[in-house]
Structure 1
Amino acid sequence: MTRPASRGRRRAETGGFDRRLIAPMILGSVLNPINSSMLAVALVPIGRAFDVPPSQTAWLVSGLYLATAVGQPVIGRLVDAFGSHRLYLLGAALAGLAGLLGALAPNLWVLVASRVLLGFGTSAAYPASMSLLRSESERTGRKNPSGVLAALSISNQVIAVVGPALGGLLIGTGGWHLIFGINVPLSLMCCVLGTLWLPRATPPGRTVRVDVPGMLWFAGSLTAFMFFLMNPAVAHWYLPVLGLAAGSVFVRRELGTDQPFIDLQVLGGNGPLLATFTRQCLAYTTSYAFFYGYSQWLQEGRGLNASQAGLLLLPLSATAIGVTALTGRRGRVRGKLVVGALFQCLGCAALLLLHADSPMWLLVVLSAVVGIPHGLIGLANQNALYAQADPTRMGSSAGLLRTFMYIGALFAAAASAVFFRDGATSPGLHAMAWSLLGVAAVFLVLCTADRSLARATTPGQTTPAPRKGAYP
């Protein structure tokens, strides 16, 4: 019988893209969005189980994204240095362990610890996948694997928006513990597929040293800001000061070391890439705040259960998948971003119309409208990154893109803690909607004003990989 590795080698010799890589890439990359989206309908049941308010359950969101914000850049660098295989398997195993810990958690803070561990575990698959895509593109000569990028984006969209319904089903079947326990079989599948199909090749001539002090300064800066944002008050003035001080030390250190935790040189002279990272942060601040805030309001403000709240987010799934499928192979980045930003503004404004007796049809229409930017923005920023990043730093750049996304998620968690301090009420939702409308408007302005997006891939082109410094 022909062994899997032999079949993979024969396919590589033919010069075609090794499609056996797609299954482990997709399965690994969805571990984070499935855990993010299922939690959206579990926050209220978990709060009731441990008798804690939304301001404390918000740490379940923040814990995951603090870990991923730290984990993505360093794992991206490790992928660049050691290849995808080992990092992918280690991350999958860590995610399974985190799922087991969460399913058995006796209190909220053990549950938060499991989310932190889960954040580190799910940080490996995305930079590993982007690195694999780059190496496969160079091997096959197909410089713009838009079909594979679209498949990754669609799979993440599907999981992210089907996750609430799946989470509601699991909670209705066996309680919130099941949304953590599901990580065990998923991680086992990742380990099996990764062992069978991911190449074991290591990039030649690369050594890496983990910048532990840089990690600590970065984590300390983010944590200080998060503690302030979760409970802003004049008496806590020292927290943002500490955050700025730690951030300054971090930047100075990273620019002065040859193997930094976050490769800030990725941004050196590359204004378009920095703009992409900024757009990612703004877009996902709005996206995650809607996702978690709207889900909590459906249960507390509208009086639905977790299963019903999950089902009401399914229209978001349908439009997101449809939009991604229709536009995935079209390379015009700027148009997707502008349209996505306009619909984000529309969705935030629509939140102002919601009340405890809002009709179901309005809730369904709102979910469907918000699915449009879900289907456009993530894929557009991913395509922009692919065109703008230095190919030799693709893993680092991909990790940094995810870091900015998770910083946006941290801002979203802080918004939930602030505006839902007394519960997910309609007045709290409306106050959140006004702030999100402002963020979405800034995002729209940046998308419209960024002329560098015209240099990204256009339909039908196979744009060569950019050289370092190709964008001023």
Structure 2
Amino acid sequence: MISTALVAIGHGFGIGAAQTAWLISVLYLASAVAQPVLGRLADVLGPRRVFLGGLVVVAASGLVGTLAPTFAWLLVSRLLLGIGTSAAYPAAMSVLRDESRRVGRSTPRPVLARLSFAALGSAAVGPTLGGLLVTAVGWRGIFAVNVPVAVIAFASALVWIPADPRRGERSGAPDAPAGDRPRAALDPLGIGLFSGVLTVLVFFLLDLSHPMWWLLAPFAVLTAALVLWQLRRAHPFIDLRMLAGNPALARTYLRHGVSYLLIYCVMYGYTQWLEEGRGFTSGHTGLLMLPMSVCALACSLLGARTKGIRAPLIVGSVLLTVGAGVLTLLGGATPLALLLLVGACFGIPQGLIGTSNQAAVQFHAPAGDIGAAAGLQRTAQYLGAITASSLIALAYGQRANDAGLHLMGMASGVLGVLLIALTVTDRALRRRV
């Protein structure tokens, strides 16, 4: 929803696109760290507990954002929202893992597709709903709506989410001592080092027009410390040995991150251009994004009906590259039909890629650590989003204009070609998942 409120928020606080980009980045920074953390907690403590706790934080974020007197308080609200919503996906994957263990069979692709459909559905209606809320009640409605949504989700979870299994059953070791594994698996120092690495990286990325090169030194030191510590741990926060021995999973993370870098450039950069470059209202911009939303929803279900994942990923990669090329042709005289087509070009791959990479993670990740593995998938996605916000800030500066959109389109086109190469050359994708 925030994508159609960025311009209104900027006008309200007298700031430009480079500053409002922090509303994107702070949420995805929090999510990039919190997803694997809460995924690990879901594996250790149980997904139902973690999901309910996350919803409490989401409700708190809505209250803070609604009442925010300054832009800094909006950043706090987005930080809380990133932490709270990070519980949903890894907890859901853990629930499916527990159910698969109970019935003795792997999770079917159509079930994974419904999970993807739910995630894409909420994201799909976001720009349209956000535009309507901004038009009707102002940008604070974007934050206020999180409170009733969290309350409804909390009540629904109490009724429908199964009770958490016992600790030994979750860890995959029924005879394991109940008190040992949770403390060992949390790895607070590893979490702190990982948070530090991402925070320094984000601060560097967000001002690429005036790079703070000195940040590369603490980034290198923190990264080295993180690697050394994780390799020494029996139960590391990020299992680097597992990733090194599982290149198919590592490539899935890389492919997912690059894909969503391109998708988020459109989700946020294109919507800002529609408002500032073409003069559309927030409500009209939300409606112009409907083709992207509808295509993403339809293709998430279509992708689940395929027997493999390679073909949907190739189609999605090609369409992302084509869509990036079209961005370089847009301007003040571009007909409405072409503006709608751009959304479809990015909506189709959003559905195909999201569902297919989700199935790849489910197939390649260790069963006992699916929550943490799913969290790392979302970390890769949010790193793509952070990089996208940096690219948007670099291209636009203080205002979204045609030149900035074209620069963003050219950079996205180069990344699209890279994504095609990563997908076509991955032999692991030729196996049916």
TM-score by length of 1: 0.86
How far apart are residue 332 of structure 1 and its match? 1.0
Q: Which residue of 2 aligns with 1:35?
A: none
Q: Which residue of 1 aligns with 2:172?
A: none
The answer as to whether partners of 2:249 and 2:365 remain within 8 angstroms in 1 is yes
Q: Which residue of 2 aligns with 1:351?
A: 327
Compared CA separation, residues 349 and 235, structure 1 to 2 (3 A): closer
The answer as to whether partners of 2:206 and 2:393 remain within 8 angstroms in 1 is yes
Deviations 1:235-283 (A, max 9, x none): 6210122212211211111221233333334414101000001101110
Q: Which of 360, 363, 372 is the matching residue for 1:387?
A: 363
Asked if 1:413 is matched to 2:376, the reply is: no
In structure 1, how many angstroms separate the alpha carbons of the residues matched to 2:3 and 2:164?
36
Asked if 1:440 is matched to 2:416, the reply is: yes
- AA of the residue aligned to 1:216: G
Deviations 1:65-107 (A, max 9, x none): 1101110111111111111111010001111111110111111
In structure 1, how many angstroms separate the alpha carbons of the residues matched to 2:41 and 2:157?
17
Please, which moves more after superposition, 363-372 or 289-298?
363-372
Asked if 1:55 is matched to 2:18, the reply is: yes
Compared CA separation, residues 142 and 261, structure 1 to 2 (3 A): closer
Q: Which residue of 1 aligns with 2:29?
A: 66
Q: Which of 129, 132, 138 is the matching residue for 1:169?
A: 132
Q: Which residue of 1 aligns with 2:83?
A: 120
Asked if 1:181 is matched to 2:181, the reply is: no
Q: Which residue of 2 aligns with 1:145?
A: 108
The answer as to whether partners of 1:137 and 1:145 remain within 8 angstroms in 2 is no
The answer as to whether partners of 2:295 and 2:344 remain within 8 angstroms in 1 is yes
Gaps of 5+ in 1: 1-37, 458-472
- AA of the residue aligned to 2:131: G
Deviations 1:300-328 (A, max 9, x none): 00110100000000011222222222232
- AA of the residue aligned to 1:348: A
Q: Which of 40, 44, 53 is the matching residue for 2:3?
A: 40
Q: Which of 190, 213, 217 is the matching residue for 1:241?
A: 217
- AA of the residue aligned to 2:342: L
Please, which moves more after superposition, 242-251 or 54-63?
242-251
How far apart are residue 213 of structure 1 and its match? 2.6
In structure 2, how many angstroms separate the alpha carbons of the residues matched to 1:456 and 1:103?
47
In structure 2, how many angstroms separate the alpha carbons of the residues matched to 1:117 and 1:265?
32
How far apart are residue 203 of structure 1 and its match? 2.5
In structure 1, how many angstroms separate the alpha carbons of the residues matched to 2:107 and 2:9?
44
Asked if 1:82 is matched to 2:45, the reply is: yes
Q: Which of 292, 297, 317 is the matching residue for 1:316?
A: 292
Q: Which of 407, 422, 429 is the matching residue for 2:405?
A: 429
Q: Which residue of 1 aligns with 2:171?
A: none
Asked if 1:449 is matched to 2:412, the reply is: no
Q: Which of 271, 274, 289 is the matching residue for 1:298?
A: 274
Q: Which residue of 2 aligns with 1:287?
A: 263
Gaps of 5+ in 2: 169-175
Compared CA separation, residues 263 and 236, structure 1 to 2 (3 A): same
The answer as to whether partners of 2:36 and 2:375 remain within 8 angstroms in 1 is yes
In structure 2, how many angstroms separate the alpha carbons of the residues matched to 1:394 and 1:456?
19
- AA of the residue aligned to 1:208: P
Q: Which residue of 2 aligns with 1:101?
A: 64
- AA of the residue aligned to 2:403: P
Asked if 1:361 is matched to 2:340, the reply is: no
Structure 2 counterpart SS, 1:208: helix
The answer as to whether partners of 1:387 and 1:456 remain within 8 angstroms in 2 is no
Asked if 1:274 is matched to 2:250, the reply is: yes
- AA of the residue aligned to 2:239: D
* Corresponding residue pairs, total: 420
Q: Which residue of 2 aligns with 1:325?
A: 301
In structure 2, how many angstroms separate the alpha carbons of the residues matched to 1:426 and 1:45?
20
The answer as to whether partners of 2:29 and 2:202 remain within 8 angstroms in 1 is no
Structure 1 counterpart SS, 2:165: coil
- AA of the residue aligned to 2:232: G
In structure 2, how many angstroms separate the alpha carbons of the residues matched to 1:374 and 1:86?
30
Q: Which residue of 2 aligns with 1:202?
A: 166
- AA of the residue aligned to 1:109: A
How far apart are residue 233 of structure 1 and its match? 5.5
The answer as to whether partners of 1:384 and 1:456 remain within 8 angstroms in 2 is no
